[in-house]
Chains A and B, each alone.
Chain A
Amino acid sequence: MAESIAFYTLSAFILGFALLVVTTKDTVHSVLFLVVDFLFVAALYVLLGAQFLAAIQVLVYAGGIVVLYLFVVMLVNLKRPPEEYRDPRRRSMLGIALSVAVLLELTAIGLYSRSYPAPALAAGAAAMPVTGNTEQVGWLLYTSYLIPFEIASMLLLVAMIGAIVLAKREL
């Protein structure tokens, strides 16, 4: 009971701050709302029993990515607000209509998949020799998912080099 109350409270906060992120005029305020949103998502991860992922969320998202966004927002100090200029060919209603279309698709998928019961998962977790959330995630990461792990590390390296090359004034 307490769990579901906490879940609904966190959900309300997450959705509210996400709406604020999308609708606020000031970009700096938007970034700050994004930090709060990520922190609430981390709290939701703790509630869902993913403590390690919650820590990663706080460190990487709320700590790293958002600071990156803030840097860019501060560097790109705008002399005129970007929302002023309006392309006459732009169709704002089309955006809303497409969002509604995605919503309808998700609802259709949800209704469709409800008619099938969830398949019973193979008991792969039973073979895990360790207990505890962080140990489980680490064990999976270094055994079954070693190659995706290495590929992700290569991707991060390439992204780092690419960002440096892009942000350099001239090579």
Chain B
Amino acid sequence: MVLSAALFIIGVAGVMMRRNIIIIFMSIELILNAVNINLVAYANQVQNAIGQVFAIFVIAVAAAEAAVGLGIILAFYRNKETVNIDEMNLMRW
């Protein structure tokens, strides 16, 4: 549990502090991995495979999210030539 929480915190800190959007996406992957570790640990603790099934769903959603997110990064890079989130202000109000 403590390991999972620590990994989660590292992921959150990465999202908050880095300016390269690719590294932010990798931090999100770390967060999802922390959640998976938690699910598998509970599945091990209660001797039940349901947690592992949900971890598989989390992996599937993470794969979908990575594909779409990286597609968006590529489209954005083609337009603006940057991956710095501080310069991403197209949707500014």
Contacts and interface: CB of A to CB of B under 8 A. Distances in A.
Interface of A is mostly: helix
B86 A31 contact: no
Interface of A: 11, 14-15, 18-19, 21-22, 27, 30-31, 34, 37-38, 41, 44-45, 48-50, 52-53, 56-57, 60-61, 64-65, 68-69, 71-73, 75-76, 78-79, 82-83, 85-87, 90, 92, 94-96, 98-99, 102-103, 106, 110, 121, 124-125, 128, 133, 136-137, 140-141, 144-145, 148-149, 152-153, 155-156, 158-160, 162-167, 169
B17 to A, nearest CB: 5
A86 B85 CA distance: 10
Nearest to A164: B71
3 cross-chain pairs, A with B, having the tightest CB-CB distances, nearest first? A95-B16, A159-B64, A166-B71
Contacts of B25: 69
Interface residues of B, number: 65
A152 B90 CA distance: 32
Interface in B1-49: 1, 3, 5-14, 16-20, 22-23, 25-27, 29-30, 33, 36-37, 40-41, 43-44, 46-49
Nearest to A21: B26
B60 A152 contact: yes
Contacts of B48: 121, 124-125
A152 B63 CA distance: 11
Given A30-B23, A155-B61, A166-B74, A98 B16 contact: yes
A42 to B, nearest CB: 10
Contacts of A121: 46, 48
B59 A156 contact: no
B18 A167 contact: no
